[in-house]
């Protein structure tokens, strides 16, 4: 078994144990969710809204056709709320695709 295969197997085991459901494009994935940063964002004259920012790590093997969420175009749903995908990152040696998500 190659190192890449071992990492993928370890990632799958980790996701099975602690993964949380995230939905994108009608599909549900198990993901590792980073702590959610909450900040106040200006919402207009004299008002503020809460803004959210966090990362969602999904197994790279979950995207076999290389079709992945698109930054600033797609949303993911987590814990009943929709979040905008702001950035997508991956590396050949990593078993994960990382989505950097923001409040829409």
Position with higher pLDDT, 2 vs 33: 33
Q: What is the mean pLDDT of the chain?
A: 86
pLDDT in tens, 31-42: 999 987 776 555
CA dist 75 and 69 (Å) reads 8
Full residue range of the structural domain in which residue 46 is found: 3-102
Q: How confident is the model at residue 46 (pLDDT cuts 50, 70, 90)?
A: low
> What does the pLDDT average to over 15-37?
93
- Residue 45 scores a pLDDT above 60: no
Q: Domain holding 69: CATH number?
A: 2.40.10
For position 84, what pLDDT does the model report? 94
Total count of domains within the chain:
1
> What does the pLDDT average to over 55-71?
89
What pTM was computed for the model?
0.81
């Amino acid at each position: 078994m190659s190192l890449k295969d071992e990492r993928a197997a370890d990632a799958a085991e980790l996701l099975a144990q602690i993964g949380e459901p995230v939905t994108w494009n009608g599909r549900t994935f198990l993901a590792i969710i980073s702590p959610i940063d909450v900040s106040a964002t200006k919402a207009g004259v004299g008002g503020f809204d809460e803004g959210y920012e966090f990362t969602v790590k999904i197994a790279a093997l979950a995207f076999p056709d290389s079709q992945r969420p698109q930054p600033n175009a797609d949303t993911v749903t987590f814990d009943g709320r929709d979040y905008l995908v702001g950035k997508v990152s991956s590396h050949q040696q990593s078993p994960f695709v990382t989505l950097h998500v923001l409040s829409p």
